[in-house]
Amino acid sequence: MSFHSNDKRASDAPPAGVPTTNWQEWSQERALAATLFDGLAKDGIDTPGITRDSYGAGEQRAHERIAALAHAWGLEVRTDAALNLYVTFPGRDRSLPAALTGSHLDSVPCGGNFDGAAGVVAGMTVFSRWLRTGFVPAHDCTVMAIRAEESAWFPLSYIGSKAAFGMLSGDDLCILRSDDNRTLAQCIEALGGEPDRLRAGEAFLDARAISRFVELHIEQGPLLVERNLPVGIVTGIRGAFRFRHAQAIGEYAHSGAAARGKRKDAMLAVARLIIALDHDWDEAEIEERDLVITFGRVQTDPKRADFSKVPGHVAFSIDVRSIEPDTLLRLEACVRLRCAEISASSGVELDLGLQTHSKPAVMDAALQASLLNAAAIHGIPTMKMASGAGHDSAIFASQGIPTAMIFVRNENGSHNPAESMTMEDFACALQLLEYGLTCEY
């Protein structure tokens, strides 16, 4: 990570055709953004937080709100077979490849109001300013409100963005929603989508027709807060592999009567796995490898477990992330080796279940440089940083589309009701987003 100097020079100037802005000019758009955030909060209110469920009522209301606003402004509005929403501001030469921005509108259960939604509101706010000032970009610019980025509802990452590029399989469309066991296809169809077109691999987006994708998102970690910086420029996005529904299968026994050597304690087996992988994490850090490992769920069977019983069954999950593909491969091998060793020594079966994964993504170097230049022009303090969480930008980058991300400072992390982003920081990010959509690079 490195800090970027924001010393403005006399030669610093935006390229021709890029609107020259300052923070004060964006103050006229702040009221619109605040109104949109308030409306989205009401669409998903789930005290104490926000729930905009993927392919559910909360996400649907949010999409309808953005579409209604776009129609009222006279902009072009389209949806694809997966119900991703596209709002297009026509450029002077419509034959040129378009610049895309946006993010997702769904949330985790009882999450915060800014994760994902900030990127969609940002794009619409930029369009509002262009309409007010009469600016017309050289090429089309499109805000994409993406469906189902959060994998809390379906055990698959980046559903909406994958669907836009024809990357969903028939098996993907059969996965079950976590709360009601409806298939993804049924949920899409219930809202007016066309899963048969997705099953056939139909792509709505053509990478050749897209000049860039720039996603604005709140930071989901503490770095910008710790460094007292309003925004960050993302260098890459960690990939991951996950075992969402792993289980340890041992034997229930009386806690007082079962001798230690005779026990098949499922909880102890999981604990040993956690400790073993933590040691592997230590070794990765010594080698200066990028890695995080999380056991987000560890639970006994509430119907069969008891304080006076040796646990015979434990459900758990493993989430491993890294920016380095080789590190992910090495850790997957470690997970399987540790499970085999612990099973052999304890008599407890460790069944990892279905594995899901996402590839690391590198952000475009030229776009990063352009955004850093914009920060210098506008006197906005910033830094380069990696993203620990996954984002739809990873799918765009995987298609060979030049991709960039702008992080906005956020107190209290994300995926919780306490997400906090100031409108002052948001205004800084808006200036960078506008530049990223319109500059030549």
Looking at the predicted structure, is the pLDDT value of residue 9 above 80? no
Per-residue confidence (pLDDT) for residue 374, from 0 to 100: 93
| H or E, element range at 437 | helix 423-438
Q: Which residues make Cβ contacts (< 8 Å) with residue 95, sequence separation at least 6? A: none
Per-residue confidence (pLDDT) for residue 160, from 0 to 100: 98
Q: Which CATH architecture has domain 240-358?
A: 2-Layer Sandwich (3.30)
**Which CA distances in Å does 236 have to 1, 111, 309, 321?**
11, 24, 47, 12
What is the SS3 assignment for 219? coil
Report the candidate in 167, 163, 100 with the shortest Cα–Cα distance to residue 127: 100
Q: What is the pLDDT of residues 172-199, one digit of tens each?
A: 999 999 999 999 999 999 999 999 999 9
What band does 403 get if pLDDT is binned at 50, 70 and 90?
very high
Q: What is the pLDDT of residues 246-278, one digit of tens each?
A: 999 999 999 999 999 999 999 999 999 999 999
CA atoms of 276 and 291, how far apart (whole Å): 15
CA atoms of 438 and 441, how far apart (whole Å): 9
Q: Which residues make Cβ contacts (< 8 Å) with residue 385, sequence separation at least 6? A: 1, 219, 223, 224, 232, 233, 234, 235, 407
pTM of the model: 0.84
Angle at 137 between CA 133 and CA 138, to 5 degrees: 150
Fold of 2-238+361-438: Aminopeptidase (3.40.630)
Q: What is the DSSP letter of 406?
A: E
The upper half-sphere exposure of residue 431, i.e. CA atoms within 13 Å in the direction of its Cβ, equals: 28
Looking at the predicted structure, is the pLDDT value of residue 74 above 70? yes
Per-residue confidence (pLDDT) for residue 23, from 0 to 100: 57
Q: Note the helical H segments in 20-158.
A: 27-43, 57-73, 117-133
Q: What is the pLDDT of residues 301-322, one digit of tens each?
A: 999 999 999 999 999 999 999 9
Structure tokens at 227: 């460094």
For residues 117-139, give the mean pLDDT: 97
What is the overall mean pLDDT for the chain?
A: 93
| H or E, element range at 341 | helix 325-346
The gap between the terminal CA atoms of the chain, to the nearest Å, is: 23
The domain limits of the chain are: 2-238+361-438, 240-358
Structure tokens at 254: 């009386």
Looking at the predicted structure, is the pLDDT value of residue 366 above 50? yes
What is the SS3 assignment for 157? coil
Report the candidate in 233, 213, 229, 236 with the shortest Cα–Cα distance to residue 410: 229
For residues 320-330, give the mean pLDDT: 95
CA atoms of 207 and 318, how far apart (whole Å): 33
